[in-house]
Every structure is written in structure tokens, then in C-alpha cells.
Amino acid sequence: MFCIRLKELRKEKGVTQKDFSKFFKIASGTIAMWEVGKREPDFETVKKIADYFKVSIDYLLGRSDIRNPEEDQDKITIWGLDDKIYHHLSELPEEGKEDLIKYIELLKLKYGKD
């Protein structure tokens, strides 16, 4: 999962393997090997990569679908939802989120909750 997350995050940020390798002072071939799953970085490098992308190590390693639990903690607490459900909600476009809020309001009316 690390290889997939690394590549996704790097592309989202618009950083080439070459630029990424320069920033971390690592050979670009090493980055390529990480992204195809043939090699893995040491723990200290994993921590630096997580910091660089502002994600948790758990997210980077595929142990969680929440990118940064510290930033998302209020949302998780409010919703009381597990990581997988929250991940799906976070992927909704703004229009979908608005529809979801309208649906929740309808459910509140149906069940007499204000």
C-alpha cells in the first residue's frame, strides 16, 4: 500500500520523481523502486515523507484511510464513524455533501429530532 499512496500523494502535489528525489537527496531510481513496491524506505525516511505530504504514517502505510487524524479529529468525533465510512464521505463532491446534509435534515424531521 505504501507504493500506491506514495505515488498518489506525489502526483496530487504535482511533484516529479526527479524533484522528489532531489528534495530527499535520494536517487530517483530509488523513488521509482518504492513506487512499484520493489523497495521500501527506512523508518526515518517514512516519517519525513509523511511530514512532507502532511499525512499520518498510518495513512502512508495503508493502515488508515484518514490522511491526517489530527486535522480530521473533530470530524471523526462529530460523526462517530469509522475510517472507511469517513473516507467515502470525504470523497463526495460539494454537491453530494449538500445532498447528504439535506437528507439528514429529512431524517431528523421523520424521527422528530430538531
Find the domain containing 105 and state its range: 69-110
Mean pLDDT computed over 65-86: 60
45 in the same domain as 15: yes
Tell me the mean pLDDT in the region 64-87.
61
Whether residue 56 is found in the same domain as residue 74: no
Let me know whether 17 and 39 are in one domain.
yes
Using CA atoms, how far apart are residues 76 and 61, in angstroms rounded to an integer?
20
Instruction: Assess whether 46 and 93 both reside in one domain.
Output: no
Same domain, 52 and 9: yes
Give the relative orientation of helices 2-12 and 43-53 as an angle to the nearest 10 degrees: 30
The pTM assigned to this predicted structure is 0.59
Question: What are phi and psi for residue 61, nearest 5 degrees?
Answer: -90, 0
84 and 51 share one domain: no
Q: What band does 63 get if pLDDT is binned at 50, 70 and 90?
A: confident
Tell me which H or E stretch contains 23. helix 17-24
**102/83 same-domain check:** yes
Q: Render pLDDT for 80-105 as a digit per residue (tens, 0 to 9).
A: 555 566 667 777 788 888 888 888 88
For residue 78, the model assigns a pLDDT of 47
Looking at the fold, whether 77 and 55 belong to one and the same domain comes out as no
User: How many domains does the chain fold into?
Assistant: 2
Query: Domain with 35 in it: what CATH number?
Result: 1.10.260.40
Query: How much of the chain, in percent, has pLDDT values that exceed 70?
Result: 82
